[in-house]
Amino acid sequence: MKRIKGQTLEQIVGRLRAGDPATVEAFPQRRLLGAFATACLAIAYANARGVVHRDLKPASIILGDFGEVFVLDWGIAKVRGEAAEALSGSHAAHDATQIGRVRERPAAARPEAATQAPSSAADGGAAPVSACRSRCRPS
């Protein structure tokens, strides 16, 4: 397993909210938006191949010192469509990722997860946009 060095988006946003001067200088809005766009591209790549993350949050995105962006925490990902058929005998097809099973943290869960109704969106596509609107606005 590759060792990843960096800071989570959650840590960075926390220090920005606290007004930490070093963090404010190191992570201007343009850099944060670029990292956010890169994370969105990673999720879009996975979605296009039938993989749904299902637990995307600021603590799951790591920003490296040299511009790297990593999306982690794929433990409860759901594989759908042709990709799921190809993995039909593997862990991806097991009970932990069956449609209708709630595996998200309650604070981050999609509203339809409470009713256990399957989502029509690939990965709660509006969630990253609303997260950006609420977290990336200049103070």
Known catalytic residues? 55
Spatial distance between the Cα atoms of 68 and 135, rounded to a whole number of angstroms:
20
Query: Which neighbouring-strand residues pair with 61?
Result: 71
Structure tokens at 95: 């009970």
Q: Crossing angle for the helix pair 29-48 and 9-17, nearest 10 degrees?
A: 150
Token pair belonging to 46 = 């996975």
Burial group, residue 62, by CB count within 10 angstroms (0-12, 13-18, 19+): buried
Distance, in Å, from the CA atom of 30 to the CA atom of 23, rounded to the nearest integer, reads 13
